Structure 1
Amino acid sequence: MSKISRNTLNLIYRAGLLDAVHPLWADRLTVLAYHRIADPNGAGFDTFEPNVSATPTAFAAQMDFIRQRFNVISGRDLVAWLQGEQSLPTHPLLITFDDGYRDNLDHAWPVLQQRNMPAVIFLATNYMGQATPFYWDLIAYCFYHTTKQEADLPLIGLQQWHDKASRTAVLKKWLNSLKKLPDQEKWTAVNQLPRLLDVSISPDTFAGLHLTWDQVRTMTATGIEMGAHTQSHPILTRVSLAQARQELEGSKNRIEAEINQPVKLFAYPNGLSTDFNADLQTILAQLNFAAAFTLLPGPTQPAEAQQKPLAIRRIFLHHQDTLPRFAAKVMGLPRLLKPSG
């Protein structure tokens, strides 16, 4: 869809063409993949901007859009359908959030409550209630606050920047290189960054960035479901199978102990085609997970979801998505244009 211009998307949206084709794919399973709901241009924002899926205002508009066109289901509804216990409504849609950021409580939860819409939040359990940042937020913070304009970075060597755009380009280049490393090597490189960029990190720098377990329980009591997203958020194909099992089982057990409810849903960290495999799916099945979610582009055909319940597609959202672009994504335009993708 990147080849479709903004003007073309606006014309398609305003002409009602998306609504016209919407009934033609009524049984598709649409799963939205959010991360953070925040304003990356707001005062004090100094963490990883690409992880912001929508501003609070845009998120409310998006929820109104889908409420008028889809039947929003819960994770329990999806599990019951996968297990043959119930059918799904036409135009079923599941709302999900990855990682467990505090802004899900502050900005997404009130919008969902006002509209009586369920959702699932996938928690990386080691971070809940902790001031420990995800590595991408630590990296972004260091780049935001450094006064340097060059650094000799592990993996990619000497890099220079002179403005926000070039600094962001270096940040993303290094982050993409890090993702290819085994998890332990990745953290060895990341932990050098504050020194390399001459940035101080205090114990409370990232306080309040993640949900606490009390907040998780508060949301659970109102119908928000919790799923597992590992303990420490490694890319699971970059660690041993023994460590992967520990990450999966440990996160599931911790959430179940905290909320006193079974956890049946999982989302793969990073979620691309090289980030999960049959061995991981076998472990998930052994741990009684009923469904697992990727970031392969959705929506998903019902037959595919039933055949591959541990590799369900989702629609990745970004705060730069205009409402017409959001509409095109959610209505399945990218997959209609490339159905084999």
Structure 2
Amino acid sequence: MLSDLVKKCLYGSGLLGLYHRFRNRRTLTVIMFHRVIDPRDPRWASCDPDYTLDTALFDRCLAFFAKHYNIVATADVLAARRGEKQLPDRALLITFDDGWSDNLDFALPRLRAAGLPALLFLVADVVGRRLPFYQERLVGGWRLGKVKAGELLASAGQARPSAGNDMATLREAIAAIEKLTDAERESALAPLAEAMDDGHRHMLLAEELGVLESGGFAIGLHGKTHTPMTLAANLDAELAGARAQVAPYLDPSEPPATMSFPHGRYTPEIAERAHQSGYQLVFTSDPVINPIADRPGWLLGRVGFEQPGIVGKGGGFRADKLALLLFRKQSRLLTS
């Protein structure tokens, strides 16, 4: 483990930046975000901290990207894939998953101010829905003190006398809930319906998609229901069905050309099926950067990070930590 002083010196001296300029010259780095919220917003109190960045840190991340990368739009990557143009050296694409309303409220204005494009992978069924996925609602209920992790674990049939009320137990309980059948899950969560509702709208409205598009967001798909593709009862609905469902919301009304896998779960067969169903670019959560040579592959890795990984002990942004996290990622072609 590098000491904090060494990390800061490596970055401050410019050596890390020089290393990145040569090592990652012909690569595409795809960044994966979920939520961006101002801590003064009421949604901050119930959001999942592992998937949320505060606005001040998001601004610092954008400045970091602009300093060390050439930020590209989805259209640039699609054109490069078709062989119509080449991506610049050290290309970077910014993406968001799910369809959170805070992407419109907080991420969009900051991206527009910086003149940067982005790509939103939208879950088709969440458009116009107020409440988020049950996993996020459980985290929200727990953060607000309305859901007890040990009790949730018991409701999933995993009762343990020593179970506490900490985040680790909550994650364990949610994982157990995910393994239940739909009927079992509905029965386990029904008594918690009120505790899982923080009273706020979290997901995007159909009319807000046009605002995002006009502001520089491209729209891709993230499945129909947010079910992992490996567990989907109807894979065609999650792939081609989701494209058809979202197309009327967009301008022009065309099926999206990109998608990412919910929960990052897929198999090579599922990836191929997604590609064959009309998605020109398919994004994974495999934490690799993508060699581009003459053109990128159609199956691409993405790199995500959590807020604690890019801040110091006092909570301030640490560019050296983000540099070490991104610049050293494995470069690997997932497919041609």
Give TM-score, length-normalised by structure 2: 0.85
Alpha-carbon distance in structure 1 between the residues aligned to 2:174 and 2:277: 31
Shift of 1:171: 0.8
Q: Determine the C-alpha separation between the residues in 1 that align with 2:275 and 2:208.
A: 29
Question: In structure 2, what is the equivalent of residue 239 of structure 1?
Answer: 232
Give 1:327 deviation, angstroms.
2.2
The Cα RMSD (Å) is: 2.8
- Give the 4+ runs in structure 1 shifted more than 6 A: none
Asked if the contact 2:289–2:303 (Cα under 8 Å) also holds between the matched residues in 1, the reply is: yes
1:294 is aligned to 2:294: no
SS of 2:329's partner is: helix
* Unmatched segments (≥5 aa) in structure 1: none
Tell me which of 222, 246, 261 is aligned to 1:255.
246
Alpha-carbon deviation of 1:199?
A: 6.4
In structure 1, what is the equivalent of residue 301 of structure 2?
313
Structure 2: how far apart are the matches of 1:42 and 1:229?
Answer: 26
Q: Does 1:33 align with 2:26?
A: no
Aligned mates of 1:90, 1:288 — CA distance in 2: 28
**Residue 314 of structure 2 corresponds to which residue in structure 1?**
none
Letter matched to residue 313 of structure 1:
G
Query: Cα gap change, 1:6/1:121 in structure 2, threshold over 3 Å: closer, same or farther?
Result: farther
Confirm or deny: 8 A CA contact 1:232 1:247 kept in the other structure: yes
Runs of at least 5 residues in structure 2 that lack an aligned partner in the other structure:
311-317
Deviation string 1:4-45 (CA, Å, 9 cap, x unpaired) is 555543333223221121221211111000011125797661
The offset of 1:107, in angstroms, is 1.2
Distance 2:58 2:32 in 1: 12
Matched residue, 1:265 = 258
Distance in 2, matches of 1:193 and 1:41, equals: 29
Superposed, which structure 2 residues align to 1:161-176 within 5 Å? 166-176=165-175
Distance 2:41 2:4 in 1: 24
Aligned to 2:66: 67
Number of aligned pairs? 319
CA 1:11–1:248 in 2, change beyond 3 Å: closer, same or farther? same
Instruction: Report if aligned partners of 2:138, 2:147 keep a CA contact under 8 Å in 1.
Output: no
Asked if the contact 1:159–1:170 (Cα under 8 Å) also holds between the matched residues in 2, the reply is no
2:313 equivalent in structure 1: none
Per the alignment, residue 275 of structure 2 pairs with 285
**Mapping of residues 322-337 of structure 1, within 5 Å:** 322=310, 323=318, 324-330=320-326, 332-335=327-330
Report the equivalent of 1:112: 111
Distance in 2 between residues matched to 1:340 and 1:79, nearest whole Å = 16
The equivalences for 1:118-129 within 5 A come to 118-129=117-128
In structure 2, give the amino acid aligned to 1:250. G
- The answer as to whether partners of 1:194 and 1:201 remain within 8 angstroms in 2 is no
